[in-house]
């Protein structure tokens, strides 16, 4: 199984990338870092620069058919940049059209809103996104992780780094 991690080059919350990545590898799947530009992406520990990571594939060259699951890590910058990139938004939208599972943590649902993928869903996020999600047609809940199975898609959402254990368990369960 192949798992796409979609990340903007300008910044992602490092732990929200690395912990699910390790969980995916531990489940025997192959994670791939997809970004809007080649080279390396910058990770952050909140507002402080952390490590950089090599990009495996540019989103414009990636096909949804190559992957079994999409993970959208958070941080504030990552989804804010992704939702402004038509190729990234299209990639997310294609996952939903293909009926494939998607997992998003923290601020990552901003990208889902832009892809018009939250309407009719029950989900969670970083608390400041509550109104944005409700305005986009979602039902927001304050839970560690929310798995919403609606139609052919499974959508896994989580609030914050403190919820990573539950988020990673839900991601691994979908891979099984």
For 126, which DSSP code?
Answer: -
How far does Cα 86 stand from its chain's mean position? 16
List the structure tokens of 64.
């949804």
Q: What angle do CA 92, 80, 94 make, to 5 degrees?
A: 5
Q: Is 168 a catalytic residue?
A: no
Q: Determine contact, residues 15/164, Cβ cutoff 8 Å.
A: yes
Annotated active-site residue in 46, 106, 148, 168: 106
| Residue 102 parent element (H or E) | strand 102-105
C-alpha span between 36 and 14 (Å, rounded): 17
Annotated active-site residue in 46, 107, 148, 168: 107
Q: In the block, which residue shows the tokens 């489940």? A: 27
Residues identified as active-site: 106-107
């Amino acid at each position: 199984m192949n798992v796409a991690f979609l990340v903007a080059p300008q910044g992602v919350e490092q732990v929200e990338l690395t912990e699910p990545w390790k969980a995916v590898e531990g489940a025997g799947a192959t994670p791939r870092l997809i970004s809007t530009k080649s080279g390396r992406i910058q990770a952050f520990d909140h507002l402080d620069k952390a490590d950089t990571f090599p990009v495996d594939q540019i989103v414009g060259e990636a096909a949804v058919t190559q992957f079994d699951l999409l993970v959208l890590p958070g941080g504030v910058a990552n989804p804010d940049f992704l939702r402004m990139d038509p190729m990234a938004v299209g990639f997310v939208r294609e996952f939903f059209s293909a009926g494939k599972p998607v997992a998003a943590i923290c601020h990552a649902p901003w990208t889902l809103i832009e892809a018009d993928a939250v309407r009719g869903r029950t989900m969670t996020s970083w608390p400041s996104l509550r109104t944005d999600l409700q305005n986009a047609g979602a039902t927001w809940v304050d839970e560690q992780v929310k798995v919403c199975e609606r139609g052919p898609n499974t959508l896994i959402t989580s609030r914050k780094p403190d919820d990573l254990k539950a988020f990673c368990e839900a991601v691994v369960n979908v891979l099984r």
